[in-house]
Amino acid sequence: MSAEAAYLDRYLPGASALHGADARAKAPMTVGFILATSALPVGAWAWYGVMCAAVWLAVAASGVGLRRLAGRTLIALPFVLAAVPAIFTRPGQPVGELPLGPWSLTAIDAGLVFCGSVLLKSWISVTAASLLVATTPATTLITALYALRVPPVLVRIVAFMHRYLFLLTEEVARLLRARASRSAALDGPVGGSVAWRARVAGGMAGALFIRTYDRAERIHMTMLARGFDGDFRQRAPVPLSRASLTGAAAVLVACGGVVALAHMSAWL
Amino acid sequence: MTVAAGAPALAINGLTFHYPDGREALRGVNLTVQPGEKVALVGPNGAGKSTMLLHLNGLLQGGGSISVFGQELRGSDKRTLQQVRATVGLVFQDPDDQLFSPTLAEDVAFGPLYMGLSEQEADRRVGQALAQAGLAGYENRMPHHLSGGEKKRAALATVLSMSPRILCLDEPSAGLDPRARRGLIQLLAQLDQTILVTTHDLHMVRELFPRTVIMDGGLVVADGPTGAILADQALLDAHGLELP
């Protein structure tokens, strides 16, 4: 396995109770937790603290390490940027000015609260999702999705993507290496024009698409050769243990309780 | 699928095939393989070897006729073709195409489950096929964690689990290091099925296959005992083959 492929593997092996828990319980718990977090009212800082504490406790119990997980949660940042315009557009009291050359943007208090809420909620949600992925091997998670009756075509797409993402990454790395090793320089101007470089990059993307398409055709052939008839068959899962069911139910009820309490305290 | 008593494992008569762009890949291939025979199919790149293999279980359908243990593939319904696919196990050249499931156990169970076997029987076959391929205990391994040699053997296991009577392998030893190649040759030597293998590895051909068929330009140009074929230097030269 190449370095690129190793980097893609998100599972961090461990022996914690969270690692050992049934993925069919962990996945709904995580989804429930994320839904509850996003359903909390805007500006309910104390409740965000409760959710944050809950997810940190789980991270601590898993032994994955908060610092290691925190790096992965940065993936939430680009989504938070979408909430930034709200700082300047929500109705409310102005709290400051941001000069932009001849213009200036006025920050609004309600907008700041909204943006801060989105930032915190996204970060808590992504931490929970990262924890699930760090404590559950991808293959187990995929099997759990089948068992949870997620439409099999969707799960199959996820499974194929996971399986072939590694190959695709390696293929891209090989293409880039081949380009880099021929990107030699002599004295004088180097590198060609931007248009030429764009054409090269476009060609590479095209080559990659055709290779991927060809591979998909070949995979389909190997499936047909083993009797595939278009219908996805899956093994019957073993029943979920009582402990897993109770655990999942407890977490989901607690999440519901937090949302209800947070909304009630917001009204009072 | 009806199996005719005394019928050859494979009987190919006048097989032709054109690619959609009009290129002629097969120009009337004739070949008969008896049950239990081990045949090497050699020839230059583009000779039509792999294309011919894809016809043997109905994945491609060209002109001419192919019968598997007496069952004619031309005009067969979908159900019969699926039964033929349980009889002719096809192992593709790139194991990354063959191993498409998240874990090895799922991949090896794919064929048996589609054959309609029970889960218990599929599990039993997974264990058996992996052990036969020297991969016992690899059930939960992900394909991208395997070495090249392991992937090749795993690809073979995905077909062995279907207990096919005929095994067709496309370049099984290509790209393997000497040790992995040796492991694969030992594995092939232990199999008692009818085997048809396309390869450029004439070392392996000499070691494992009593009969050799040379294809070139979409035709069978020579067919005979491996010793005689490999001793005919002029024939080898004419078809771009080189003795090790």
Q: CA triplet B117, B119, B121: central angle to 5 degrees?
A: 60
B226 within some domain: yes
* Chain A residues touching residue B119 (CB < 8 angstroms): 235-236
Asked whether residue B153 is domain-assigned, the answer is no
Residue B141 covered by a domain: no
Q: Predicted confidence band at A219 (pLDDT cuts at 50, 70, 90)?
A: very high
A238 part of contact set with chain B, CB < 8 Å: no
**Residues from chain B contacting residue A233 (CB–CB below 8 Å):** 113-114
Among residues of chain A, what percentage have pLDDT more than 90?
43
Q: Are B216 and B44 in contact (CB under 8 A)?
A: yes
A159/B contact by beta carbon, under 8 A: yes
* Cross-strand pairs, B38: B195
Answer yes or no: is B109 within a domain. Answer: no
* Total number of domains constituting chain B: 1
Q: Strand order of the sheet with strand B88-91?
A: B88-91, B166-170, B194-198, B38-42, B211-216, B219-225
Task: Tell whether B223 is covered by a domain.
Answer: yes
B131 within some domain: no
Q: Burial letters for A72-83: b for 16+ Cβ neighbours within 10 Å, e otherwise?
A: bbeebeeebeeb
What is chain A's mean pLDDT, rounded?
87
Q: Do B100 and A223 touch (CB under 8 A)?
A: yes
**Complex ipTM over 0.85:** no
Span B138-162, pLDDT tens digits: 999 989 889 989 999 999 999 999 9
Q: Considering Cα of B40, then B41, then B43, then B44, what sign does the dihedral take?
A: negative
Q: Is residue B20 part of a domain?
A: yes
Full residue range of the structural domain in which residue B198 is found: 10-93+165-238
pLDDT at B3: 65
pLDDT reading at A2 higher than 60: no
Kindly report, residue by residue over A223-260, the tens digit of the pLDDT. 999 988 887 777 777 888 999 999 999 999 999 999 99
pLDDT at A55 over 80: yes
State how far Cα A242 lies from the chain centre: 29
A103 vs B16, more confident: B16
User: Domain holding B183: CATH number?
Assistant: 3.40.50.300
B184 in any annotated domain: yes
Q: Number of residue pairs across A and B with CB atoms under 8 Å?
A: 77
Write out chain A residues lying below 8 Å of B107, CB-based. Answer: none
As separate numbers, helices (DSSP H) first and strands (DSSP E) second, chain B gives 10, 10
CB contact under 8 A, A226 and B140: no
Predicted TM-score (pTM) of this structure: 0.81
Rounded average pLDDT over A152-176: 88
pLDDT at A23 over 80: yes
A174-194 tens-digit pLDDT:
888 888 888 777 776 666 788
| pLDDT (0 to 100) of residue B104 | 93
Pairwise CA distance, residues B218 & B213, whole Å: 12
Q: Give the pLDDT of residue B146.
A: 92
- Residue owning tokens 């090793």: A181
pLDDT at residue B2, as a whole number: 64
Q: Which residues of chain B have pLDDT under 70?
A: 1-3
% pLDDT > 70, chain B = 98
All residues of chain B having their beta carbon less than 8 Å from the beta carbon of residue A145 are none
Residue to mutate among B60, B144, B162, B167, with most A CBs inside 10 A, is: B144
Task: Output the pLDDT for position A192.
Answer: 73
Report pLDDT for A7. 58
Dihedral sign (CA A159, A161, A162, A164): positive
- How many CB atoms neighbour CB B26 within 10 A? 26
